[in-house]
């Protein structure tokens, strides 16, 4: 029984419980020491038990039991005399209520029988069909949005909270400032207007990429035809883990953030509220790239460098990394930040190409279950590296970075622009460069249709300027084709062989008709 209990609990922890990506996975059942399976380890609880406390609690329980017995006995003796006198009165009330219910049931049954016997007009099938269509039309016309959606449409900011599974529901907000984003069709919150990410990005139906990308799958889902679902000037994201760690925005911080956005206090800015220097994974206060290596099994710099080489088409031995200086300021972690919607789309454009290059580099290795960015088997392989990508993009694309205290709402700019001069790779991260690379990929995919597997087309829209010309040319071709078909039809009608008439009908004159009629009348009279 001991071995069955231990193995069952270990299997429960291993297969049923879903631990966060930063937690160390539990050992397999086969790795449990044999000693722990042979007998109960009661000695492990000896330090917890306190005999003095147990004796004190047992005495208090006995005292309470004696008081309850005395109290119950007193109540029984005092109520015995009253019970005998009230039994007759209670029984009469019960009999009266029973008779009333029986009469009501009999009357209800008779009314139902009479209702069934009466003639009811059924109507024709056309009437039934017409009424059904009318009901469907009214149903669509009366679609009303809830209060949260109406309030959200009038505010400048909407913060999305990606989640997966019912276990994260308690850590999600329900105010109009926030909106849930389910990474799976299953496990979505009921009676909410949460977004179904797989319906907007079919790539998330693939469990491998849903687990590997995590929050970036939510970014790509929102950015895909963003105008259909997000109509606010600013967009933000907050991890449910931030709420679990009590680092989410307070009401004061939310108000301060919205006021700063409405007043355009900082312009095009990345607001963040979870700091890297206070992260439990960074107790040694490491710098950016050292911390990235620490949480990615020492391969962060290598993976980042190789992804940039693949992304920008650099062939020679290039090992440089975008500088992330140590200037006394900190960086953003845990995907909790706010950006202008236009800047967010630019960031997603850059991220799609970076993730595609990263996936091309490590996809084959990850299929075996081993991730080079982790010391263990990890299905969230890319998540810790991508968690820090927003900092690299914001720093080198010359965006302001402002830290918002999640408790007080106080704001402070980090990595000021005047201190970044001669350190930013502006040409690499500028909108013109990223846009031209995006169009080149779209043109290559549209013209060549490569057979090699690529992740980029599945993460969003594929568009380049030549598509306008192709669509215009195709429309002109269709128009000319319709014109030609119309002309051919008219020419066939005109050249069609017409059959000659068999006979010709000659209508008699009116006078001849009258003469013939009078002749017939005279002939009848003579008879």
Query: What are the DSSP calls for 285-353, one per residue?
Result: ---HHHHHHHHTTT-HHHHHHHHHHHHHT--S----------SS---B-TT-EEEEHHHHHHHHHHHHH
Over the stretch 349-407, which tens digit does the pLDDT of each residue have? Answer: 999 999 999 998 887 666 666 778 888 777 888 889 999 999 999 999 999 999 999 99
| Same domain (yes/no): 29, 136 | no
9 with 143, same domain: the answer is no
CA 66 vs CA 63, 72, 73, 74: distances in Å: 5, 10, 11, 13
Residue 476 is predicted with a pLDDT of: 86
Q: What pLDDT shows up at residue 444?
A: 81
Q: Which residues contact 272 (CB under 8 A, 6 or more apart)?
A: 332, 336, 337, 338, 401, 402, 403, 404
Does residue 83 lie within any of the structural domains?
no
| Residue 50 covered by a domain | no
For residues 230 and 151, the answer to whether their CB atoms sit within 8 Å is no
Angstrom distances, CA of residue 274 to CA of 94, 160, 330, 388, 404: 66, 16, 10, 12, 8
The answer to the question of residue 490 being in a domain is: no
Whole-number pLDDT of residue 277:
92
User: Per the domain annotation, does 110 fall within a domain?
Assistant: no
| pLDDT at residue number 356 | 92
Q: Which helix (H) or strand (E) holds 103?
A: helix 51-117
406 and 286: one domain?
yes
Same domain as 388, residue 271: yes
Residue 277, in any domain of the structure: yes
| Cβ atoms 169, 187 nearer than 8 A | no
The whole-number pLDDT of residue 468 equals: 67
CA separation for the pair 121, 118 (Å, rounded): 10
**CA atoms within a 13 Å half-sphere pointing along the CA-CB vector of 164:** 19
CA–CA distance from 296 to each of 14, 366, 378 (Å)?
Answer: 22, 14, 11
Question: SS3 letters for 42-67?
Answer: HHHHCCCCCHHHHHHHHHHHHHHHHH
In a domain, 91, yes or no: no
Angle, alpha carbons 314-318-323 (nearest 5°): 110
250 lies in which domain range?
128-447+454-468
Tell me whether residue 373 is in a domain: yes
Statement to judge: residues 144 and 291 lie in one domain: yes
Residues lower than pLDDT 50 in the chain: 52, 81-82, 139-144, 513, 521-522
Is 154 found in the same domain as 12?
A: no
CA angle 155–158–161, rounded 5-degree value:
155
| Whether 37 and 185 share a structural domain | no
- pLDDT (0 to 100) of residue 144: 46
84 in a domain, yes or no? Answer: no
User: If you ran DSSP here, which 8-state letter would residue 500 be given?
Assistant: P
Global confidence as pTM = 0.64
How many distinct structural domains can be found in the chain?
Answer: 2
- For the chain, how are helix, strand and coil distributed in percent, rounded to 5? 55, 5, 35
- Please tell me whether residues 18 and 166 are part of one structural domain: no
What pLDDT does 522 receive? 46
- The percent of residues above 70 in pLDDT, for the chain, comes to 73
Same-domain pairing of 285 and 423: yes
Nearest to 401 by CA among 504, 345, 332, 470: 332
- Residues 156, 297: one domain? yes
Place of tokens 């799976």: 184
Rounded Cα distance between 351 and 510, Å, is 93
Q: What is the pLDDT of residue 141?
A: 44
Asked if 16 and 150 sit in the same domain, the reply is no
pLDDT at res. 510: 74
């Amino acid at each position: 029984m001991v071995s069955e209990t231990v193995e069952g609990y270990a299997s429960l922890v291993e297969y049923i419980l879903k631990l966060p990506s930063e937690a160390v996975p539990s050992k397999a059942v086969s790795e449990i020491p044999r000693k722990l399976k042979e007998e109960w380890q009661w000695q492990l609880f000896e330090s917890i038990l306190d005999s003095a406390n147990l004796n004190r609690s047992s005495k208090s329980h006995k005292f309470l039991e004696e008081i309850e017995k005395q109290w119950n006995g007193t109540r029984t003796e005092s109520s015995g005399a009253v019970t005998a006198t009230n039994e007759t009165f209670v029984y009469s009330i019960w009999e009266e209520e029973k008779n009333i219910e029986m009469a009501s049931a009999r009357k209800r049954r008779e009314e139902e029988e009479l209702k069934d016997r009466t003639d009811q007009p059924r109507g024709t099938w056309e009437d039934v069909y017409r009424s059904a269509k009318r009901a469907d039309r009214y149903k669509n016309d009366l679609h009303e949005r809830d209060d949260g959606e109406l309030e959200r449409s009038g505010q400048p900011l909407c913060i999305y909270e990606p989640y997966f599974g019912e276990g994260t529901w308690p850590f999600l907000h329900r105010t109009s400032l926030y909106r849930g984003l389910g990474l799976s069709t299953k496990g979505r919150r009921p009676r909410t207007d949460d977004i179904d990410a797989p319906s907007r990005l079919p790539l998330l139906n693939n469990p491998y990429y849903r687990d590997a990308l995590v929050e970036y799958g939510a970014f790509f889902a929102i950015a895909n035809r963003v105008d259909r679902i997000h109509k606010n000037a600013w967009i933000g994201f907050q991890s449910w883990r931030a709420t679990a760690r009590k680092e989410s925005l307070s009401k004061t911080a939310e108000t301060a953030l919205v006021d700063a956005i409405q007043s355009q206090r900082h312009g095009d800015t990345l607001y963040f509220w979870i700091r890297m220097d206070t992260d439990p994974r960074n107790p040694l206060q490491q710098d950016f790239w050292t911390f990235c290596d620490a949480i990615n099994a020492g391969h962060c710099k290598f993976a980042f460098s190789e992804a940039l080489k693949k992304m920008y088409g650099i062939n020679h031995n290039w090992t440089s990394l975008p500088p992330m200086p140590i200037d006394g300021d900190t960086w953003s972690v845990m995907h909790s930040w706010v950006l202008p919607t236009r800047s967010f789309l630019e960031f997603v454009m850059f991220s799609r190409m970076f993730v595609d290059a990263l996936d091309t580099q490590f996809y084959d290795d990850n299929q075996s279950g081993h991730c080079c960015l982790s010391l263990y088997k990890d299905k969230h392989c890319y998540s810790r590296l991508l968690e820090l990508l927003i900092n690299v993009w914001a720093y080198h694309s010359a965006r302001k970075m402002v830290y918002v205290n999640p408790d007080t709402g106080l704001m402070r700019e980090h990595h000021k622009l005047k201190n970044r001069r001669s350190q930013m790779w502006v040409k690499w991260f500028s909108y013109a460069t990223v846009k031209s690379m995006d169009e080149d990929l779209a043109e290559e995919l549209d013209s060549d249709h490569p057979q090699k597997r690529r992740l980029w087309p599945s993460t969003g829209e594929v568009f380049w300027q030549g598509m306008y010309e192709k669509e215009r040319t195709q429309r002109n071709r269709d128009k000319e084709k319709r014109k030609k078909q119309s002309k051919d039809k008219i020419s066939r009608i005109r050249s069609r062989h017409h059959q000659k008439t068999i006979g010709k009908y000659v209508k008699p004159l009116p006078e001849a008709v009258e003469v013939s009629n009078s002749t017939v009348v005279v002939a009848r009279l003579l008879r």
